[in-house]
Structure 1
Amino acid sequence: MPTARSGTSAHRLPALLAALCDRLPDDSCAALERVLQGATGPDDARIGRFIAEQSAAGLAHQLMDITRAWRAEAPGLTGAGLALALATARSRPRTEPAQVVVSGPLSASVPARMTSGVAMEVIRSATTSLLIASFAAHGARDIVREIARAVDRGVYVDLLLEESTQAAEAFAALPSGVHVWHRVGAAGVLHAKLIAADRHTAFLGSANLTDRALSDNIELGVVLRDPRLVEDLIDHFRWLLTPENNIMRRA
């Protein structure tokens, strides 16, 4: 991309393109790319007509912001070049926002879903691996059944459980292929609560895998569906399970 003119920010145009991709579906972005391909610059009449045809609230203004930034920051950039930049921004993985999850009474303050349903949904979404951590576990038969179904479809399951709470007893009916882990030594307890499916989705929060925590207690959690965050989280727990680190041991 040509050097920006003195006194202007070289970062506004890429940010505007990224924001446009986050707003528009792929087919609309592709339509704009086709218009840009034949445009000679930000003042090309074809771009003006495309902007004038947009009826979605604020979209024309957003597109005009892009043409102004194009004119100010990269006046020598062709339409084909901007189309390529837009296609590059469109090709990056789109992340879903974090989702609030609660147990107990539901208010109208924030959009939220119940812990029990979300926990089941995350387990069902696993195709290769499940990593589940809980300080305590009791009952939670629906969760246990869902884990068993995951094992039946070939999902590799690691359960990280606090030994002092006898949490492993809640999962005694699971197949022997499920791997149960306990903390080594007495320096602290395993207090994390996590359900992670493959490397794409992680549900973490305050709720243990108990009947009361999944439904009646006042609990709070969040679902992450950004692989960049989830992968770092999974890598941390996989490091905890590495035998040479002597942090967790197989039960």
Structure 2
Amino acid sequence: MTINKQIQEKFRQNDFVLELKPEERYFYMYLITNTITTLCGIYRFSIKLAELETGLAPEVIEKHLRTFESYGKVIVSKATKEIMIVNWFKHNFKGNKRTIASINNELKDVKDKEFLKQLYDICVQRQYPVEDLFKGIIIASTDKEESKIVGQALPAEAQPQEKPVEEALQGGFKKEKEPVKMLFTKLEEASPAPSAKKRKQKTKEDIEVEGIDITFEDDEGQPFIGTAVASWSFVDVNSA
């Protein structure tokens, strides 16, 4: 697959480029178009490869690197042998999903974490989608803020946890117990309903055989008064 790298027409008309010397202009164009450049603008720079591709001596290449670093156009990491084109996103950023995913994969391979921090600040300033560009990438800490992983939730211990209701009640106030409603009572505790026979039991009975009235009293103590309609005489059979 052939990879083409384009240069804007206005590149040569840029005020900065117009003031460069011919060799500096040539080397600067090499930095942004060589075979190992990336979509994120950070890549591992090989002086040996640059020597072969440009025909410049190693000491000349190192001199140009220091020159452009003083111009603020590139940053060189001697520890990781990486180089960062500062204004790369300004002229080459594309916001489609495929490009953003490719940039994210490239940034995960960057060794110098300070480069990631500087590029992250540039993207925030230009309002680029940093959550997608730096998803899952650790951003180096500074004096004022801690390191963070972009696009991921905070660890469990860092997330605010809500106290269970029972603990909150114990710590603050106690919840009053609601009265328990007894739907059923024990049979032995419930008083048995009086039977029909006991409700109408006679409590007093006076029968006068030769008299006129017969009197009964019910449970409520109210007498029933009536007139005798018959009389009986009882004879002791044993005495007869």
Which TM class, normalised by the smaller chain length? under 0.3
Give the TM-score, by structure 1 length: 0.21
Give the TM-score, by structure 2 length: 0.21
Which protein has the bigger strand share?
Answer: 1
Which protein has the bigger helix share?
Answer: 1
Larger Rg: 2
Larger relative contact order (C-alpha < 8 A, sep ≥ 6)?
1
